[in-house]
């Protein structure tokens, strides 16, 4: 599975669209999540069911979060992207 774009620069409070390509299954749905070493929960920003990431309004430290896409057909298949917040 791959996530596009693999890396993005996102301004605080702005949005970035991510997409996931799932192969070898008829169920191409994914579950999105976001995490970071310098933030928890909404402090990392939010991502909706369609892959639209909304950056937080306060800069975490470090200012980098990881976007996760997990296959709904097979939870062991996943992909990630990195968002650098500015």
- What SS3 state is found at 45? coil
Q: What is the pLDDT of residues 43-84, one digit of tens each?
A: 999 999 999 999 999 999 999 999 999 999 999 999 999 999
Cis check for the bond before 62: say yes or no (omega within 30 of 0).
yes
Phi, psi for 41 (deg, rounded to 5)? 55, -135
Q: Which residues contact 74 (CB under 8 A, 6 or more apart)?
A: 25
Nearest-CA neighbor of 19 among 39, 48, 43?
48
The whole-number pLDDT of residue 26 equals: 86
> In angstroms, rounded to a whole number, what is the distance separating the alpha carbons of residues 28 and 59?
33
């Amino acid at each position: 599975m791959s996530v596009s774009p693999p890396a993005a620069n996102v301004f605080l409070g702005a949005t970035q669209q991510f997409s996931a390509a799932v192969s070898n299954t008829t169920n191409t749905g994914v579950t999105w999540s976001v995490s970071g070493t310098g933030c928890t929960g909404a402090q990392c920003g939010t991502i909706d069911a369609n892959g639209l990431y909304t950056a937080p309004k306060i800069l975490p430290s470090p200012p980098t979060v990881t976007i996760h896409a997990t296959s709904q057909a097979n939870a062991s298949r996943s992909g990630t992207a990195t968002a650098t917040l500015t």
